[in-house]
Structure 1
Amino acid sequence: MSHADNQALLNIKQLSVDFNTDEGRTQAVSDLDLVIQPGQTVGLVGESGSGKSVTALSILGLIKQPPGRITSGQIWFGGQDLLTLSEKQLRPIRGNDISMVFQEPMTSLNPVFRVGYQIAEVLRLHQKLSKKAAWQRTIELLDWVGIPEPHVRVRSYPHELSGGQKQRVMIAMAIACEPQLLICDEPTTALDVTIQQQVLNLLQDLQRQMGMSMLFITHDLGVIADLADEVVVMYRSQKVEQASTRSIFSGARHPYSKGLLACRPKLHDNPGRLLTVGDYMSADGRELEPSAEQLKPQQKIDKSGQPVLLDVRELATHFVQKSGWLQPKKPPIKAVDGVSFTVRKGETLGLVGESGCGKTTLGRTILRLQQATAGSVSFDGIEVFDQSPAQLRKLRSRMQIIFQDPYGSLNPRMPVGRAVMEPIQLHQSQLNRSRQDDQVCELFVQVGLNPDQRHRYPHEFSGGQRQRIAIARALAVDPEFIICDESVSALDVSVQAQVLNLLLDLQEQRGLTYIFISHDLSVVNFIADRVGVMNQGRLVELDTAENIYRNPQNPYTQQLLDAIPKGRPEWS
């Protein structure tokens, strides 16, 4: 080991990890070298399947063997190779010296125990604190990570906390023993931009105060712009680039890194179609240069002269809160509270706001998937709330929805081709089976999938492919209007770019009208003609995407814009 390696907190040398799958042996990590110095933050960036999470799990000795197998390499930490230690020797290091914050807090927290008990358990196990001291320390930790009323929240169950609060509990648990190394595996992916910013700021503050090192795993380069000192880019199990954060942002060298930087929508100067990794790098790894045509800035067409397709008037959706026997009646939750707007033919209206602001409920109420409390919705002159079930079924072929989680909305026991064919059978029963199958094949081609894959099941597809299947199913009945409900938020940035481009292409080809619901203002700014900002059930601002970005009128809109990861201005 060199002198620099001796100083390193973590030193991974030529790590290779394989997995046995139904298709044979797959290499998840190949010959990885990675060094983290004391107090340093290293960003590990790449898309799903690049080997990032497998690397993190290898450090902690959490790879299931079989099917996984560490075939070669060393992981040096605290003067010992972690790969040579037994489970018993690893246990005091795990959680004490090296800790991890996972992507999905709900699956990492036990739903049947109070959050305080779960944090206190870590302290009692590793720090040997008494019950009382562990409980007191837990309240301090919850206060430290910014949870309001920690002495009350310590007794909450996970389901009683918001997504951002659950992630803070996970961070409190991870830092409870003041680890030397904190591994964060996509800890902000499912969070709103404002909550994401708060969590990133919190991690930065904690790191400074505790002097710990951090390995931050993400698929979004923008997220680590202000956080990491150094960036390691992984692609298909291999490290393809490593440099200081400044160097990556001001002049990435590898085509894959360039592609990752380019496919994230910006708040201004976007091209007409987002660039993807495929525009910088061919399938066989050759470097490509995007053409001048591809780089031409986006020109949005003014659609204000088009006829109104959807007219929403004073729409309200309230939910009754159950109160216990002999308890005072609780006021209803006003999920949507007197919202009015119109959408014109061929237009995309973006709806933005944080979780719980009423965006999704508004979308579902417009389609009558949720009962309205008051107000009216008129679609192409038809009063949606006045329709009988038979009339509504006919109307549903003209109005469709693409949900956030395609896996949750596809039947796992049904081949995807049949899932896409179902609405055709329902709405176009006059077609014979062969013609229906032809339509399914045409839809697969249109959304960029191979029709031969239609006999496969949902679990055999990637997240991006499943989202394309969900889009194909929505298009199956030839709708005029589609509500996209957070339909790209869970995707890798390059897959997200492909799906956004696809939605724009389909809009041009079919004359579609969209309501695009998202918590990500930069995505909405790219795809939408006008943007509506929702806060606590109300529409607080509605204007063109350009005006919203350049001159926001509402302080809440400004707050959303400020929270978008932008990187440091001097690097761009």
Structure 2
Amino acid sequence: MATNIVEVRNLAVDFTTEDGIVHAVKNISFNIPKGKTVGLVGESGSGKSITSLALMRLIAAPGKITSGEILFEGQDLLKVSDAKMREIRGAKISMIFQEPMTSLNPVLTIADQITETLRLHQGMNQEQALKRALELLVLVGIPHPEERLYFHPHKFSGGQRQRIMIAMAIACNPDLLICDEPTTALDVTIQKQILDLLADIQKRTGMSLLFITHDLGVIADIADEVMVMNKGHIVERNVSREIFANPQHPYTKGLLACRPSMDRNPARLPVLSDFMGPNGEELKYTPRVEVGVSHQLTGTEKVLLEVKNLKTHFPHHGGIFGSVQSYTKAVDDVSFNVRKGHTLGLVGESGCGKTTLGRSILRLVEPTSGGIVYDGQDIAGASRQQMQDIRKKMQIVFQDPYASLNPRMTIGAILMEPMEIHDLGSSKKERQDIAADMIKKVGLTPAMLNRYPHEFSGGQRQRISIARALMVRPEFIVCDESVSALDVSIQAQILNLLLDLQDEFNLTYIFISHDLSVVKFISDEVAVMYGGKIVEMNTAQNIYDNPQHDYTKKLLSAIPKGQPKMI
């Protein structure tokens, strides 16, 4: 009896573009054992997702599988008919896609979407399919499933939508489940729930998993074997414990080293270029021994921002006359200080009020009550004109750079726009020169100023967003989940950049994130937010060494235990 459910031999996938042929997957071979979990890790563009789509035979034009074999239970999927492949998809091989909101149909209820799969592949009638759909929602932990089965996707949180995607994927008890970044950008507690759920389902059904991610901490907790992919090649493969204890390829070593660790506090994070040259050659990396000095607080630092009993409540209207029926207390009586030239990390799960707090401080969302004192000036009651002047000093870097950059404007125009609004720079030529200088400071080149946002990678767009925030030379920046969805190597570069810019311009940050290891690395102090309130605040080290609040302990316990090896 075969021990592998999938055997891939010399698989190659090419894409035809205006600039020629792109070899996305380059003659790779691997096996997925029955009942086991194989992790596939690498950066964006490494070929991970293309490999998973090839297994499902979902490569769309201009892409094409040019060679190889994909043996599933001994049958080459590249040779079966389209009709046969549709039977296999969903029934025997299923997939959880990275972004559930783009995978779930927004106009159909959850019941419609789950039952469709069951009726198509299992031949169930509507009553049987609804009963099974309800069982699946209970299995994946959706609260009040009898009622919520008939909700549309927009009524669920991100973590709940991901659970619904899992319910749909396992509806027909597949033999192989492909998970494409199923926990990216999820809160650490929701991530742990998803990973525990997948492990539990696998234990009970015996299915095999191909788990794709760029987070090596996650892969250490779930995978039996790990494959590392770079530029279309599988550069290293081994059992999970060996990959972490004794990485062989310089790319693997770089990926492991550049993720912030809970037991180290370096002044700067290593990056991939410390381990591997431009042609793939291994470089000798000398570990940095200096400790992040910015984390040492004396208590005498100047307070730049003081938030006093801040509340931001959102009314819910109802009844015949549309009167206020209740309130969502997104920010509920919050007080804290931020010290000049330092970083306050703000952590908590989605919905805890982090983003609303950051936007309330900048008056992008109007607070209900409370005080906001910036550099001695109470700005909570400032007029619109006064706030425009104050915003030269206070800026924000949003979570999604693509959504916050105007797709119709060049990067040069995007960077110069804040200067035009605030009447900075004596001429267009001077503003262009300042933009060229700023784009260099964030690691890009002035030649890129004539390009549009869609021509850049996610990491580059995040650098552009940071450059835009700096164009008016602010003193204070709110970084709202600014590295949450980036590859660990790009994330390390952005975190180092933020620290370098802080040193150069004496910047003060509020750094909002759900990634506790990232917050520990960059923050001097950490505030933990839960249910609209700050439940604990202390120095970064004390929060992690000696948490006091039960919620803080819960967040820390949910961090993946697979920590990168200290290189």
* Normalised TM-score (structure 1): 0.97
Q: Deviation string for 1:197-232 (max 9, x for gaps)?
A: 000000000001000000000011111112100000
CA contact (8 A) 2:419 2:425 kept: no
Match of 2:48 in 1: 52
CA contact (8 A) 2:40 2:210 kept: yes
CA contact (8 A) 1:9 1:36 kept: yes
CA contact (8 A) 2:226 2:238 kept: yes
User: In terms of mean alpha carbon deviation, does 269-278 or 375-384 score higher?
Assistant: 269-278
* 1:19 pairs with 2:1: no
CA contact (8 A) 1:269 1:298 kept: no
CA shift at 1:251, angstroms? 0.8
Match of 2:39 in 1: 43
Q: Deviation string for 1:330-368 (max 9, x for gaps)?
A: 320000000000111101000000000000000001001
Query: How is 1:107-118 mapped onto 2 (pairs within 5 angstroms)?
Result: 107-118=102-113
Q: 2:561 aligns with which of 556, 559, 566?
A: 566
CA distance in 1, matches of 2:134, 2:274: 50
CA shift at 1:282, angstroms? 1.0
* 1:234 pairs with 2:226: no
Match of 2:189 in 1: 194
CA distance in 2, matches of 1:550, 1:89: 56
Q: Deviation string for 1:462-495 (max 9, x for gaps)?
A: 0000000000000000000000000000101110
CA distance in 1, matches of 2:430, 2:321: 61
CA shift at 1:55, angstroms? 0.4
Query: How is 1:178-217 mapped onto 2 (pairs within 5 angstroms)?
Result: 178-217=173-212
CA contact (8 A) 1:226 1:568 kept: no
Match of 2:407 in 1: 412
Query: How is 1:530-549 mapped onto 2 (pairs within 5 angstroms)?
Result: 530-549=525-544
Q: 2:6 aligns with which of 5, 10, 16?
A: 10
Alignment CA distance shift 1:220-1:374 (3 Å): same
Q: Deviation string for 1:299-344 (max 9, x for gaps)?
A: 3232521111101000000000122438995320000000000111
Q: 2:364 aligns with which of 345, 361, 369?
A: 369
Query: How is 1:98-137 mapped onto 2 (pairs within 5 angstroms)?
Result: 98-137=93-132
Match of 1:78 in 2: 73
Q: 2:91 aligns with which of 90, 93, 96?
A: 96
CA shift at 1:565, angstroms? 1.1
SS state at 1:421 partner: helix
In percent, how many aligned pairs have the same letter?
A: 57
Match of 1:380 in 2: 375
* 1:297 pairs with 2:286: no
SS state at 2:486 partner: coil
CA distance in 2, matches of 1:518, 1:222: 17
Task: Look up the equivalent residue of 1:355 and give its one-letter code.
Answer: S
SS state at 1:320 partner: strand
Match of 2:437 in 1: 442
CA distance in 2, matches of 1:199, 1:344: 37
Query: How is 1:459-498 mapped onto 2 (pairs within 5 angstroms)?
Result: 459-498=454-493
CA contact (8 A) 1:303 1:346 kept: no
SS state at 1:302 partner: coil
CA distance in 2, matches of 1:436, 1:187: 43
CA distance in 2, matches of 1:380, 1:24: 55
CA distance in 1, matches of 2:319, 2:271: 54
CA distance in 1, matches of 2:564, 2:296: 29
Match of 2:262 in 1: 267
Match of 1:161 in 2: 156
CA contact (8 A) 1:415 1:458 kept: yes
CA contact (8 A) 1:304 1:344 kept: no
CA distance in 2, matches of 1:165, 1:388: 40
Match of 1:247 in 2: 242
Task: Look up the equivalent residue of 2:49 and give its one-letter code.
Answer: S
CA distance in 2, matches of 1:212, 1:343: 50
Q: Deviation string for 1:162-218 (max 9, x for gaps)?
A: 111111111010001000000000000021000000000000000010000000000
Alignment CA distance shift 1:510-1:569 (3 Å): closer
* Normalised TM-score (structure 2): 0.98
CA contact (8 A) 2:9 2:27 kept: yes
* 1:33 pairs with 2:35: no
Q: Deviation string for 1:359-386 (max 9, x for gaps)?
A: 0000001001111101010100111123
CA RMSD for the aligned pairs? 1.6
CA shift at 1:296, angstroms? 3.2
SS state at 2:364 partner: coil
CA distance in 2, matches of 1:328, 1:224: 50
User: In terms of mean alpha carbon deviation, does 83-92 or 187-196 score higher?
Assistant: 83-92
Match of 2:281 in 1: 286
Q: Which runs of 5+ in 1 are unaligned?
A: none
Aligned residues: 566
User: In terms of mean alpha carbon deviation, does 98-107 or 82-91 score higher?
Assistant: 82-91
Q: Deviation string for 1:29-49 (max 9, x for gaps)?
A: 001101011101000000000
CA shift at 1:7, angstroms? 3.3
CA shift at 1:112, angstroms? 1.0
Alignment CA distance shift 1:436-1:296 (3 Å): same
Task: Look up the equivalent residue of 1:296 and give its one-letter code.
Answer: E
Alignment CA distance shift 1:231-1:571 (3 Å): farther
SS state at 2:120 partner: helix
CA distance in 2, matches of 1:327, 1:503: 46
CA distance in 1, matches of 2:536, 2:463: 31
Alignment CA distance shift 1:550-1:325 (3 Å): same
CA distance in 2, matches of 1:420, 1:303: 37
CA distance in 1, matches of 2:564, 2:231: 30
CA distance in 2, matches of 1:144, 1:475: 48
Q: Which runs of 5+ in 2 are unaligned?
A: none
SS state at 2:538 partner: strand
SS state at 1:233 partner: strand
Q: Deviation string for 1:533-562 (max 9, x for gaps)?
A: 000000100100000000001000000001
Match of 2:514 in 1: 519
Task: Look up the equivalent residue of 2:265 and give its one-letter code.
Answer: N
CA shift at 1:424, angstroms? 1.4
CA distance in 1, matches of 2:100, 2:565: 35
User: In terms of mean alpha carbon deviation, does 226-235 or 148-157 score higher?
Assistant: 148-157
Task: Look up the equivalent residue of 1:547 and give its one-letter code.
Answer: N
